[in-house]
Amino acid sequence: MYGLSEEDLRIQARARAFADELIPFEVEAEHSGGELPADVVAAHKARAIELGLFATNMPAGLGGGGCTSLQQVLVQEQVGRVTNALAWVAATPPSWLPAVATPYQLEKFVLPTVRGEREECYAITEEGAGSDVDGIVATVRRDGDDYLLNGEKWHVTSYNSADYAFFQGKLVGGEHDGEHAMLMVDIPSPGVTVVRTPAYTHTFSHHHPVVAFTDVRVPATHLVGAEGDGMSFAYEWFRFERMMVAARCLGGAQRLVEEITAFARERAVQGKPIGQLGAIQAMLADSLTELFAARSMVYEAARGIDAGADVKVQHAQCSMAKLYASEMAGRVADRAVQIFGGRGYMRENVAERLFRELRVERIWEGTSEVQRSIIADQMIKRGPRLLA
């Protein structure tokens, strides 16, 4: 199905087997704030590396998987079957970075990240600027051989496990005054402090704290690309990550479709399996149908990227993939909870966990509303026939 090559099928099978190894740890993680013992997490990460599922998006020449976009989707789809972010150990480091990294940055940041020795996080969003990235007020000011960074960043995912952050701010002074700059900041660094660590809907060991940067001094050698380039990296990352979000949503929905089918076969009410009830059948059928549509779309969009589609077309298609797959997965999760009845409301049940966890897929990396506006803008500019 889906015209996958032998190589695609092999990496898909490895990723599926890996996800199946992690699933038995989910309930323990759920009941302990998302945490598993450090040696268990280390073993999971080592296993991801061993199976070739780590840094699949990074160039083979740098030690990464060098996988096609479709293969990256296949891996992240399986990752999406696992709750509590346990499969985030199959990480995808910033694939846009090698092209702009200096030799120093390659050695200090890129290569150790591809080897799984260092981990990054992203400090872009602020209290007053999420969807509108250009609304950030954090500042970057040149000071001799350094830059001074100031600002407060929200929702900094994985800050608690990362050892460097991509910080985005607006330049103050100089030729590029008011434009964006991105810098890599080692964690910890003097002046970088956690303001607070809010609780979120999901139960992950990865926190999303509010982080203050106060007169943080960073060597100019940590500037990514050139002054004024900051926004282009953010857009490149969004394109990639929207596709990966879509892929993980396929996986979440696949897991649920399998679980609700099994439950509908077994669970009997008044002596009859609920799978024979029309109301339940409608929910089962709608879920699989929508999953099939979403998967076909996501795979096709990934193939377009591999074939070198125009970047604006890629941008619109990644938005369509994220929009449709995340909304589809949300509907499937809602139905799954309903089909499981009271069990679907218990944290030990995968439908309950995915119902909560999948909600953010419609928010981060650009909300559904933002995806719709990107798609509609491209339709108006280029016409729908080029885009789909």
Ligand X SMILES: Cc1cc2nc3c(=O)[nH]c(=O)nc-3n(C[C@H](O)[C@H](O)[C@H](O)COP(=O)(O)OP(=O)(O)OC[C@H]3O[C@@H](n4cnc5c(N)ncnc54)[C@H](O)[C@@H]3O)c2cc1C
**373 contacts ligand X (rule: CB under 6 A):** yes
Of 124 and 246, CB closest to ligand X: 124
**85 contacts ligand X (rule: CB under 6 A):** no
**369 contacts ligand X (rule: CB under 6 A):** yes
**363 contacts ligand X (rule: CB under 6 A):** yes
**131 contacts ligand X (rule: CB under 6 A):** yes
Of 71 and 371, CB closest to ligand X: 371
- The residue assigned the tokens 């897991």 is 255
DSSP H or E segment with residue 121: strand 120-123
∠ Cα 102 105 107 (to 5°): 115
**195 contacts ligand X (rule: CB under 6 A):** no
**100 contacts ligand X (rule: CB under 6 A):** no
Of 105 and 371, CB closest to ligand X: 371
Report the distance separating Cα 247 and Cα 365, nearest Å: 13
**124 contacts ligand X (rule: CB under 6 A):** yes
Binder to ligand X among 22, 53, 156, 302 (CB under 6 A)? 156
Least distance to ligand X, CB of residue 188, Å: 18
Q: Is the dihedral of CA 84, 96, 246, 263 positive or negative?
A: negative
Q: Is the dihedral of CA 122, 128, 131, 135 positive or negative?
A: negative
The answer to whether the CB of 33 falls within 8 A of the CB of 22 is no
Binder to ligand X among 108, 180, 207, 208 (CB under 6 A)? 208
Residue 171: half-sphere exposure toward Cβ, Cα within 13 Å: 22
Of 82 and 162, CB closest to ligand X: 162
Count Cβ atoms below 10 Å from residue 35 Cβ, excluding itself: 15
**160 contacts ligand X (rule: CB under 6 A):** no
**364 contacts ligand X (rule: CB under 6 A):** yes
**50 contacts ligand X (rule: CB under 6 A):** no
**231 contacts ligand X (rule: CB under 6 A):** no
Least distance to ligand X, CB of residue 124, Å: 3
Binder to ligand X among 160, 232, 261, 367 (CB under 6 A)? 367
Of 124 and 253, CB closest to ligand X: 124
- Report phi then psi at 192, rounded to 5: -100, 115
Residue 223: half-sphere exposure toward Cβ, Cα within 13 Å: 23
Of 154 and 263, CB closest to ligand X: 154
> In one letter, which amino acid is 293?
A
Please identify, among the stretches 141-149, 280-288, 322-330, 360-368, the one whose residues bind ligand X according to the rule CB under 6 A. Answer: 360-368
**122 contacts ligand X (rule: CB under 6 A):** yes
Count Cβ atoms below 10 Å from residue 218 Cβ, excluding itself: 22
Q: Left, alpha or beta for 365 (phi > 0: left; psi -120 to 50: alpha)?
A: left
- Calculate the alpha carbon distances from 25 to 32, 84, 208, 337 in Å: 11, 9, 22, 21
**125 contacts ligand X (rule: CB under 6 A):** yes
| Bridge pairing between strands 139-143 and 164-171 | parallel
Least distance to ligand X, CB of residue 122, Å: 4
**362 contacts ligand X (rule: CB under 6 A):** no
Binder to ligand X among 12, 157, 287, 326 (CB under 6 A)? 157
**360 contacts ligand X (rule: CB under 6 A):** yes
∠ Cα 106 62 72 (to 5°): 115
CA 233 to centroid of chain Cα atoms: 16
Token code pair at residue 123: 């400090």
Report the distance separating Cα 286 and Cα 201, nearest Å: 26
**194 contacts ligand X (rule: CB under 6 A):** no
- The residue assigned the tokens 């509303």 is 369
**370 contacts ligand X (rule: CB under 6 A):** yes
Of 160 and 338, CB closest to ligand X: 160
Least distance to ligand X, CB of residue 159, Å: 8
Give me the residues that bind ligand X (CB under 6 A), please.
121-122, 124-125, 130-131, 155-157, 200, 208, 360, 363-364, 366-367, 369-370, 373
